Amino acid sequence: MTDRMFRLLERNQKLDALLRLAQGRRFADPFEIARLKRLKQEFRGRLARLLLPPATVATSL
């Protein structure tokens, strides 16, 4: 596992914890929840691109 992948996984876990906390609040802010979900989706996309073989990445650009 590369250092970059580890940092992305770690950040994804932190976002997941923040998202659970925000959703568990009595008066949850829907804009904060949407922002956290969007960030989490972005990090998942970055991780997915890291796992693709190099030839696939070059042709998809």
pLDDT of residue 50: 85
pLDDT of residue 13: 93
pLDDT of residue 56: 62
Domain membership of residue 18 as a residue range: 3-60
Tokens encoding 18: 């923040």
Q: How many domains does the chain have?
A: 1
Question: Is the torsion defined by CA of 26, 31, 45, 6 positive or negative?
Answer: negative
pLDDT per residue, tens digit, the chain (61 aa), is 789 889 989 999 999 999 999 999 999 999 999 999 999 999 899 888 888 777 665 666 5
pLDDT of residue 60: 60
Q: How far apart are CA 46 and CA 5, in angstroms?
A: 9
CB 15 within 8 A of CB 36: yes
